[in-house]
């Protein structure tokens, strides 16, 4: 076994975390390698230095009570208000399959109604064009036939041309 | 945890009283002061309460708690490092002067300083290995790495600590 591979395992050897076979191989290496033995001794001194520090202070008095007070406040803040229950149920993954199916049918029905209404609107919009095209002739409606014989450029002809113009009614 | 997930606050209270020392010790060893350690330990339990419904028992509760404490400690130390970087305080002012302190206090201060010089992951690996007495596999689970990853983290940490604490480690 090479020194580098052994050195990475020395701490686990001290902690007795190695499988028996690996431990035997490392111990065999240590019996012949003074450098790795020195490193093991140094690691053990470091471990002793680190672990001989004073213990941390105890958990502060009242820690649990303070924590529980905050936890109760948070829980109260998260409690659903009346009227919002339907929302959580709607979004809940635990909602029954039947309820979800009913929701899907309602959604599909709504979509169908929307499409039908859209078609109706489209049809009425397109059918309004021919109605405009067959709009009554103002000359006939207002009986202005007698002006048609007037000479060109006269005031009567100008009035007739204005009356027949497409936006004669101001639209 | 099942009872906590169903909203049983008294079960949460039992969880706190059973594991508060663990959370507190790990946070204190990492952060080095009681105020921060209390904040982190409290926040760790509140996170557990808030996410109890999503809890998946893939590891022991102890490992789960250590993992949350670790993440919170990393976040806090990152924020503090940024703050220190911007404020440029006198870091040495936190430590007692050599005059008038016992060898034990001096040693404790030197170890604390050496630990604080480590990158966060190495420092937490040392805390979990030497103070919380966790095995390599559990440390790996807490730090989201492998056994070999923990070996490398601890090897680098030991090299730094031996360098900084050399005068206390002489034979």
Q: What is the mean pLDDT of chain A?
A: 78
| pLDDT value of position A126 | 66
CA-nearest residue of chain A to B159?
A43
* A126, A142: one domain: no
User: SS3 for B12?
Assistant: helix
The C-alpha atoms of residue A149 and residue A156 are separated, in whole angstroms, by 9
Nearby residues of A2 by Cβ (< 8 Å), 6 or more positions away: none
Indicate whether A94 belongs to any domain: no
pLDDT at res. A128: 54
Pairwise pLDDT comparison (A127 vs A23), residue with the higher score: A23
CATH of region B1-89, choose from 1.20.120.430, 3.40.50.1820, 1.10.1740.10, 3.30.1380.10: 1.10.1740.10
d(CA B55, CA B48): 8
In chain A, count H helices and then E strands: 8, 0
Question: Best interface-test mutation with B: which of A16, A42, A47, A63 has the largest number of B CBs within 10 A?
Answer: A63
Higher pLDDT, A86 or A4: A4
Tell whether A23 is covered by a domain.
yes
Beta carbons of B120 and B95 less than 8 angstroms apart? no
Q: How many CB atoms lie within 10 A of CB A151?
A: 7
Cβ atoms of B70 and B29 within 8 Å: the answer is no
Does the pLDDT value for residue B31 go beyond 50?
yes
Q: Does residue A56 belong to any structural domain of this protein?
A: no
CATH 1.10.1740.10 range(s) for chain B read: 1-89
Where does the pLDDT of residue B91 fall: very low under 50, low under 70, confident under 90, or very high at 90 and above? very low
A122 assigned to some structural domain: yes
B9 CB near a chain A CB, below 8 Å? yes
Whether A16 and A38 map to the same domain: the answer is yes
Contacts of B32 (CB under 8 A, 6+ apart): B112, B115, B116
CB pairs under 8 A between A and B: 92
Calpha distance B110→B164 (Å, rounded): 8
- pLDDT winner (highest mean) among A30-34, A95-99, B57-61: A30-34
ipTM associated with this complex: 0.81
Residue A65 domain flag: no
CATH 1.10.10.10 domain position(s) in chain B: 93-171
- Six token digits for residue A159: 């009035």
Domain that holds residue A110: 100-132
Residue A75 covered by a domain: no
Q: With beta carbons less than 8 A apart as the criterion, state whether A36 and A30 touch.
A: yes
Does A11 touch chain B if contact means CB atoms closer than 8 Å? yes
Instruction: Supply the pTM of this predicted model.
Output: 0.67
B17 touches chain A (CB under 8 A): yes
Same-domain check for residues A127 and A153: no
Report the percent of chain A where pLDDT is more than 90.
Answer: 33
Tell me what percent of the residues of chain A surpass a pLDDT of 70: 71
Do A45 and A20 lie in one domain? The reply is yes
Find the residue in B nearest to A44 (Cα): B169
Domain count, chain A: 3
Q: Each residue of A115-140: pLDDT tens digit? A: 888 888 777 776 655 545 556 677 77
pLDDT of residue A1: 73
> Selecting from 1.10.10.10, 1.20.1560.10, 3.40.50.10490, 3.40.50.1820, what CATH number does the domain B93-171 have?
1.10.10.10
Render pLDDT for B111-165 as a digit per residue (tens, 0 to 9).
999 999 999 999 999 999 999 999 999 999 999 999 999 999 999 999 999 999 9
- Is residue A159 assigned to a domain? yes
Give tens-digit pLDDT for A47-73: 999 998 888 899 999 999 999 999 888
Q: Do both A47 and A8 map to the same domain? A: yes
């Amino acid at each position: 076994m090479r020194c580098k591979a052994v050195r990475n395992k020395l701490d686990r050897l001290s902690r007795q975390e190695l499988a028996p076979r690996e431990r035997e191989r490392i111990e065999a290496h240590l019996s012949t390698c003074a450098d790795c033995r020195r490193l093991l001794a140094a690691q053990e001194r470091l471990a002793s230095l680190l672990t001989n520090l004073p213990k941390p202070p105890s958990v502060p008095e009242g820690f649990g009570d303070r924590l529980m007070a905050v936890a109760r406040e948070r829980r109260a803040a998260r409690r659903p208000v009346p009227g919002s229950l339907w929302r959580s149920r709607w979004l809940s993954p635990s909602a029954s399959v039947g309820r979800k199916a009913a929701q899907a049918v309602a959604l599909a029905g709504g979509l169908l109604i929307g499409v039908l209404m859209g078609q109706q609107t489209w049809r009425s919009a397109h059918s309004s064009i021919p109605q405009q095209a067959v709009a009554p002739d103002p000359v006939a409606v207002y009986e202005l036939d007698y002006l048609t014989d007037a000479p060109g450029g006269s005031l009567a002809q100008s009035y007739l041309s204005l009356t027949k113009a497409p936006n004669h009614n101001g639209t | 945890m099942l009872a906590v997930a169903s909203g049983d606050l008294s079960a949460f209270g039992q969880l706190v009283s059973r594991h508060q020392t663990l959370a507190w010790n790990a946070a204190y060893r990492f952060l080095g002061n009681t105020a921060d350690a209390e904040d982190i330990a409290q926040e760790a339990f509140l996170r557990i309460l808030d996410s109890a419904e999503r809890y998946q028992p893939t590891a022991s509760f102890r490992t789960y708690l250590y993992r949350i404490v670790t993440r919170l400690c990393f976040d806090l130390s990152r924020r503090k490092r940024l703050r220190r970087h911007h404020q440029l305080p006198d870091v040495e002012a936190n430590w007692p002067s050599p005059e008038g302190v016992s060898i034990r206090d001096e040693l404790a201060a030197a170890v604390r300083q050496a630990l604080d010089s480590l990158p966060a992951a190495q420092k937490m690996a040392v805390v979990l290995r030497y103070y919380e007495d966790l095995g390599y596999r559990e440390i790996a689970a807490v730090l989201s790495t492998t056994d070999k990853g923990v070996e490398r983290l601890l090897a680098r940490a030991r090299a730094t600590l031996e360098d900084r604490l050399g005068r206390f480690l002489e034979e």
